[in-house]
Structure 1
Amino acid sequence: MMVPAEIAASKQVSLITFKKDGTPVATPVWQVSEGNTLTTVSLADAWKVKRIRNNPRVEVTPCDIRGKVPPGAQTVSGTAVLLPPSETERARRLLAGRYISARIGAFFTRLFHIKRPPAVAIVVTF
């Protein structure tokens, strides 16, 4: 299944992960869509990453920067995979290609030799 056009065109998506008891937790994230996958990057110790390790089932819905889902927005189920650190930099470059804020942040990180906290790429397959 290809990434729905509504999700691919959305600047942010609500990434819904599930707690051990099945409670959904929505988090707005930047994303880049390619074919049948959606890629994002998160801090390695973020709760959404911990929830994905326990349960790779996720749902994705278009949203605004604050996580507000527009009425009638399509939700799609998928399976999330956490990529190894060696592939996280590629995901960061993908996001930088789409978001100017990511490019500016990467520029200042390199300019001032700021050490980034450990991150992990998340790839959702639909």
Structure 2
Amino acid sequence: MSDQSPTTDELARRVGEAKFVSLVTYKRDGSAVGAPMWVAQDGPDLVAWTPTEAWKVKRVRRDPRVVLIRSGRAGKVDPVEPSLLGTAVVEDAPETVARVEQLMRRKYGLEFILITTIEAVVARGRKPRVVLRMSPQQVESKGV
């Protein structure tokens, strides 16, 4: 990365292209909770497809602030990686959930099929899903 911070649009594109992203949401006491997620770009927004009953969904319903940081599979982030600050909303319209599922299927391919199949077997069926639609608002750069 160059010495110059990326613009919000540039970082949103890079986060949207990343294989894994740490999605930070906030508990009632204000403490941050990060979780590795798959995300896809949907126009100017980033979207995630996640189980309806996930804690991150409950936290977003109460506090829409989110932070997205490119990460590894386990959610580990580089300490100098810029953060994308934004707000999220939960969308549960069946057509939106199905469309975002297709975005994820296209982006992640065979990995998507394998992971969702394993999840369905472990859960003894598919869990209901919602979409987290995240609107980027600003970049927070970190110094070395």
- Do structure 1's residue 31 and structure 2's residue 39 form an aligned pair? yes
1:13, 1:29 within 8 Å by CA — same for their partners in 2?
Answer: yes
| Unmatched runs of 5 consecutive residues or more in structure 2 | 1-7, 137-144
Aligned length: 122
Alpha-carbon spacing, 1:21–1:6, altered in 2? closer, same or farther (3 Å): same
2:141 aligns to what? none
> 1:79-90, aligned counterparts within 5 Å?
79-86=87-94, 87-90=96-99
Alpha-carbon spacing, 1:80–1:29, altered in 2? closer, same or farther (3 Å): same
2:20 equivalent among 12, 17, 22: 12
- Do structure 1's residue 124 and structure 2's residue 134 form an aligned pair? yes
Alpha-carbon spacing, 1:14–1:90, altered in 2? closer, same or farther (3 Å): same
2:17, 2:40 within 8 Å by CA — same for their partners in 1?
Answer: no
1:9 CA drift (Å): 2.6
Alpha-carbon spacing, 1:88–1:20, altered in 2? closer, same or farther (3 Å): same
Root-mean-square deviation (Å): 2.1
2:22, 2:36 within 8 Å by CA — same for their partners in 1?
Answer: yes
Q: Which runs of 4+ in 1 moved over 2 A?
A: 103-109
SS of residue in 2 equivalent to 1:99: helix
1:3, 1:33 within 8 Å by CA — same for their partners in 2?
Answer: no
1:75 CA drift (Å): 0.4
Alpha-carbon spacing, 1:108–1:67, altered in 2? closer, same or farther (3 Å): closer
Which deviates further from its counterpart, 78-87 or 40-49? Answer: 78-87
1:108 CA drift (Å): 9.1
Which deviates further from its counterpart, 97-106 or 62-71? Answer: 97-106
Which deviates further from its counterpart, 83-92 or 38-47? Answer: 83-92
- Do structure 1's residue 60 and structure 2's residue 68 form an aligned pair? yes
Identity %: 30
Greater radius of gyration (CA): 2
Task: Give a deviation string over 1:43-78, Cα, whole Å, max 9, x none.
Answer: 100000000010011000000101010231110110
TM-score, length-normalised on structure 1? 0.86
- Do structure 1's residue 72 and structure 2's residue 59 form an aligned pair? no
